[in-house]
Amino acid sequence: MSRTTSFLSAARLGRRTVLASVLALAGAGWSGLAAAAEPIKIGLVTALSGQSALAGEAITRGLQLAIDELNAAGGVLGGRTFELVRRDDEANPAKGVVAARELIFREKVAVLFGGLDTPVSLAIVPLINQQKVPFMGPWAAGTPVTKNGADPNFAFRVSAVDEIVDVGMLNYAQKTFGTKKPGMMLINNPWGQSNQKGLEAALKAKGVPSAGIEKFEGNDVDMVPQLTRLKAAGADTIFLVGNVGPSAQVVKSLDRMGWKVPIVSHWGPAGGRFTELAGPNAKDVHFVQTYSFFGKQGPVGEKVIKALMAKYPDIKGPGDITPAVGVANAYDAMHLVAKAIAAAGSTDGDAVRQGFYKIDRHEGLIKTYVKPFSPGVHDAVTADDYVWAQFIDNRIVPVGVTPN
């Protein structure tokens, strides 16, 4: 081989090496851009079927509305958008855990939203703490969901909290009905246990005697025996804690007894077909809410109503946004999640957990949040953020407000 031939071969080899290097670098660059552009998956485990499906759909709509807004504004972390991935837990803790594991391990969600039922959320919380995946609760109110004893704790919430609601139930009953000796009707599960503890503490703090505590199962259809015992014990008000179906059966059992007694409830009746199942006296149940779209709205409320009406044809006005708390809690919670991810600068679970503590201020739907989270406080909604409501013409309306 001549020197000229050797030189040309070396030159060609050099060009190939350079070209290969350039292509490799270009490929790496495109790969990095692709990774940066991947959507951030947000998981949701909630009841999407059964009696509480309406509430699961409300949570979905609140989340999706916030995601639409965030994506339209350019997303976070240099342009990454959000994508919602849902699973139906059928209000069953075991199915909820299976769904959560699928979203965490297969879908690789950055944040997992819990759904309606405290027992389901309580079953999921150990998993998210173990896997270091931030959990956001937009509904389940059981106190131990966020006060779960883990350190570090990955469970956060934008929703009611039992121990705070229970104080509010007593205060409202005394102010509205002059309650002196309430009786409790509680679902026999961890949510009922959480509220029993909270109600007993609230009564003890005010020196108010209890007429008794009665329990019921989620599939019970006759609560007359329990209510008869409370009536005999002198109950002048019923504190009710239960989801849609059994709460409706309490109302129907009272009808059969002919006992007209004030009912002050947690927000379980708001989660689905309560008026259909309970009948005309559903309107007599007063229950807690975190938000209402009735009445004068602030700028965020007006924007949300307009966006919901544009996106969902079945929404013609405030009365069709139901249950309002599902929409409102999820909407605000998603915006706070986005701020936590932005503050973290990544989707790493522990970084996002600490990102929640860095949120300074957010103009939300329920309220203006100012430093809503800290290592010792994982609940963003306080006692000052609750409103009391009832069903009027199948619409959830604040007590004392006349719907248009």
CATH number, residue 247? 3.40.50.2300
When pLDDT is cut at 50, 70 and 90, the band that residue 26 belongs to is very low
Convert the pLDDT of each residue in 267-294 to its tens digit. 888 877 888 999 999 999 999 999 999 8
CA distances from 40 to 59, 108, 156, 346, 366 (A): 19, 9, 19, 10, 25
Are residues 154 and 193 located together in one domain of the fold? no
pLDDT at 319: 85
Per-residue pLDDT at 30 exceeds 50: no
Are residues 190 and 255 located together in one domain of the fold? yes
Worst-scoring range by mean pLDDT, 37-46, 152-161, 381-390?
A: 381-390
Per-residue pLDDT at 76 exceeds 80: yes
Are residues 282 and 303 located together in one domain of the fold? no
The residue range of the domain holding 264 is: 163-289
Beta bridge partners of 251: none
Are residues 300 and 243 located together in one domain of the fold? no
Mean pLDDT of the chain: 91
When pLDDT is cut at 50, 70 and 90, the band that residue 29 belongs to is very low
pLDDT at 215: 98
Beta strands 263-265 and 237-241 are parallel
Convert the pLDDT of each residue in 152-163 to its tens digit. 999 999 999 999
Q: What percent of the chain has pLDDT over 90?
A: 79
Evaluate whether residue 399 is within a structural domain: no
Per-residue pLDDT at 10 exceeds 60: no
When pLDDT is cut at 50, 70 and 90, the band that residue 4 belongs to is very low
Are residues 55 and 98 located together in one domain of the fold? yes
How many domains does one find in the chain?
Answer: 2
Which segments of 195-347 are extended strands (E)?
A: 212-216, 237-241, 263-265, 285-289
For the chain, the distance separating the N- and C-terminal CA atoms, rounded to the nearest angstrom, is 97
pLDDT at 368: 97
Evaluate whether residue 16 is within a structural domain: no
Per-residue pLDDT at 297 exceeds 50: yes
When pLDDT is cut at 50, 70 and 90, the band that residue 393 belongs to is confident
Per-residue pLDDT at 200 exceeds 50: yes
Neighbours of 86 (CB within 10 A): 19
Evaluate whether residue 181 is within a structural domain: yes
Q: How does 39-73 read in b/e, with b if 16+ C-beta sit within 10 Å?
A: ebbbbbbbbbebbbbbbbbbbbbbbbbbbebbbee
CA distances from 61 to 13, 140, 204, 225, 350 (A): 59, 17, 40, 40, 27
Are residues 108 and 213 located together in one domain of the fold? no
Are residues 131 and 51 located together in one domain of the fold? yes
pLDDT at 123: 97
pLDDT at 403: 66
